[in-house]
Structure formats: C-alpha cells, structure tokens
C-alpha cells in the first residue's frame, strides 16, 4: 500500500462516519502531534535496549505499531487536505537529500569519525601534497596519496606518503601487469576525481606502503577537493584490509 492508497482508505473511513468536517489542516496537524506524543510515551525513560526488547514482544510490538499507524493515517489525511501527493513529495525530498548529503562525501566522513579520525574542511581546493603542507604546516611524509592503478585488469588502491612515489617496478613484481589509471578511469572506478580519492571507504584491493605506518597520524583525501581527513594509518589498514608492502621509491 502506498500513501495514495492509504489516503483513500482513511478518507473513506472518515466520510462514512461524517468526521470530515472536523479534519481541518490545523486539527489534523494537532492530531498528528498528539499521536506522536502517544508513540513517545512507549519510549519515555527507557534505554534503547529496553525499547528493542519491547518491540520483540508481540504485545509491545503491536502497541507501538498501532501508534505508528495512527501517525501515518493522520499524516496521509493532512497531505490529502492540503492537496499534497505524499508519494511524490517523499520521492522529491529524497532526491533533495541526495543532493544535500552526497553519498561519496557523507560516507567518508562517517567512516573517518567511526575510525577515530578527523575531517578537515579547508575551504579551498587542495590537489597536491605541497598545498597540504603549506596549508596545514605539516611535513610531506605526514601526507598520504591515494593512487589508483590497474593491476591485471583490476583496480588497485595504493597508498604512499607524500615524499614517495609508487614504484611500478615493485608493484609489477607482486601483481604482474600494472599501470596507473587514467583520470577518467579513477572517477569511473571510485566515484572521485583525482585529488579527492580517500584512503578509506573504497571497495578496492588496497596496498599501503610500509613507510606510511611510520607516522602516528596521516592526512589524506577527504572525498571532496576541499576536504581532508586526519587518521591513524593502522586504521586504514584495518578498515581496508590492506596489504602492507614495500611499494614506494
């Protein structure tokens, strides 16, 4: 059942009982708030674990479901009275949310915070190690580069520090035929342009150069050209399930 079908059933129910005259937008909005309050009564003073256990019990689950259903019914009636197609409104709002909170940016932010890292909004485009060094006053070795290679036809994320270059010779010794991905390929494979690529959150085979682990924390791409992240290199290895190899020169 979609919202339109729900509205039709709710309107039929009320009209059969001649309650339509009471359903002004104001009264419906107040009723909606009241029903939300009744839903919250089930949660008041309870910890999350208690609420989840309550929802596992058939009686408790039905009580919560009844209140949620009442909220949905009043919401559909309010939209009906205001001439709002709730299905289209929700779909449109979800699209707005996707634009406001782009997945590729939010995902890296949440992963970084979960790993105990820090997101740095620099307020300007940062595309090179030298720019990061100048902007944050750090040493090049504290900066990491997230590079995309094609190894035997498969994408490979290689992370080296800002003083080093990824060695094709060393990579080929381990992975065979290896080449650096073209900028277009980087975006197609990761969703990020060159300079944005983060060291975490990519579902790619990952190699971290041993020298990166010499630092307590490192600074890498933050999934946006004006954003960086500060994170412990061990967390990168752990999250990406990366191989630690000598691949820099």
Q: What is the pLDDT of residues 190-203, one digit of tens each?
A: 999 999 999 999 99
Across the chain, what does the average pLDDT equal?
96
Q: Are residues 77 and 145 in the same domain?
A: no
Element (H, E) at 87: helix 86-100
Q: CA Rg, the chain, in Å?
A: 27
pLDDT at 193: 94
Residue with tokens 């995902």: 107
**With pLDDT > 70 as the criterion, what percentage of the chain qualifies?**
100
**With pLDDT > 90 as the criterion, what percentage of the chain qualifies?**
99
pLDDT at 177: 95
User: Range of 17's domain?
Assistant: 3-100
Q: Work out the burial of residue 220: count CB atoms within 10 Å of its CB; fewer than 13 is exposed, 13-18 middle, 19 or more buried.
A: buried
Q: Are residues 69 and 107 in the same domain?
A: no
Pick from 169, 168, 146, 165: nearest CA to 240: 146
Number of domains within the chain = 2
Q: How far apart are CA 228 and CA 204, in angstroms?
A: 20
Q: Are 161 and 211 in contact (CB under 8 A)?
A: yes
Q: Are 12 and 95 in contact (CB under 8 A)?
A: no
Q: Are residues 65 and 123 in the same domain?
A: no
Q: Are residues 94 and 177 in the same domain?
A: no
pLDDT tens digits, 212-225: 999 999 999 999 99
Last residue of a domain, one of 39, 70, 100: 100
Q: Are 180 and 149 in contact (CB under 8 A)?
A: yes
Element (H, E) at 244: strand 243-245
The domain that contains 67 carries what CATH number? 1.10.287.1080
pLDDT at 233: 98
Q: How far apart are CA 194 and CA 182, in angstroms?
A: 9
pLDDT at 1: 87
Q: Are residues 113 and 136 in the same domain?
A: yes
Q: What are phi and psi of 153, to 5 degrees?
A: 85, -5
Q: Are residues 107 and 218 in the same domain?
A: yes
Last residue of a domain, one of 78, 100, 122: 100
DSSP 217: S
The domain that contains 184 carries what CATH number? 3.90.960.10
In this predicted structure, the answer to whether residue 243 has a pLDDT above a threshold of 90 is yes
The structure's pTM equals 0.85
pLDDT tens digits, 164-182: 999 999 999 999 999 999 9
pLDDT tens digits, 95-154: 999 999 999 999 999 999 999 999 999 989 998 999 999 999 999 999 999 999 999 999
Last residue of a domain, one of 83, 100, 117: 100
Q: Are residues 118 and 192 in the same domain?
A: yes
pLDDT at 224: 94
Q: Are residues 90 and 107 in the same domain?
A: no
**In sequence order, which residues have a C-beta less than 8 Å from that of residue 78 and are 6 or more positions away?**
25, 28, 29, 32
DSSP conformation letters of 33-51: HHHHHHHHHTTTT--HHHH
Tokens of 92: 């449109």
Q: Are residues 73 and 115 in the same domain?
A: no
pLDDT tens digits, 4-63: 999 999 999 999 999 999 999 999 999 999 999 999 999 999 999 999 999 999 999 999
Q: Are residues 113 and 222 in the same domain?
A: yes
Four-CA torsion 188, 193, 198, 202, nearest 10 degrees: -10
Q: Are residues 135 and 240 in the same domain?
A: yes
Q: Are residues 108 and 93 in the same domain?
A: no
């Amino acid at each position: 059942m979609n919202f339109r079908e729900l509205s039709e059933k709710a309107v039929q129910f009320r009209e059969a009982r001649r309650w339509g005259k009471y359903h002004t937008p104001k009264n419906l909005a107040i009723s909606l708030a009241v029903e939300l309050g009744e839903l919250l009564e089930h949660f008041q003073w309870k910890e999350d674990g208690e609420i989840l256990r309550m929802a596992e019990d058939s009686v408790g689950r039905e009580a919560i479901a009844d209140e949620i259903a009442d909220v949905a019914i009043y919401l559909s009636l309010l939209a009906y009275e205001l001439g709002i197609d709730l299905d289209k409104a929700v779909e449109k709002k979800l699209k707005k949310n996707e634009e406001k909170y782009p997945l590729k940016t939010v995902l890296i932010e949440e992963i970084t915070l979960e790993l105990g890292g820090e997101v740095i909004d620099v307020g300007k485009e940062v595309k090179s190690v030298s720019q990061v060094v100048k902007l944050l006053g750090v040493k090049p070795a504290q900066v990491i580069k997230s590079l995309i290679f094609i190894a035997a036809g498969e994408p490979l994320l290689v992370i080296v520090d800002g003083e080093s270059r990824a060695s094709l010779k060393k990579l080929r010794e381990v992975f065979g035929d290896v080449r650096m991905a073209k900028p277009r390929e980087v975006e197609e494979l990761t969703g990020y342009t060159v300079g944005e690529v983060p060291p975490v959150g990519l579902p790619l085979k990952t190699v971290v150069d041993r020298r990166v682990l010499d630092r307590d924390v490192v600074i890498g791409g933050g999934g946006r050209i004006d954003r960086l992240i500060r994170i412990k290199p061990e967390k990168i290895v752990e999250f990406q399930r990366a191989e630690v190899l000598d691949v820099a020169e």
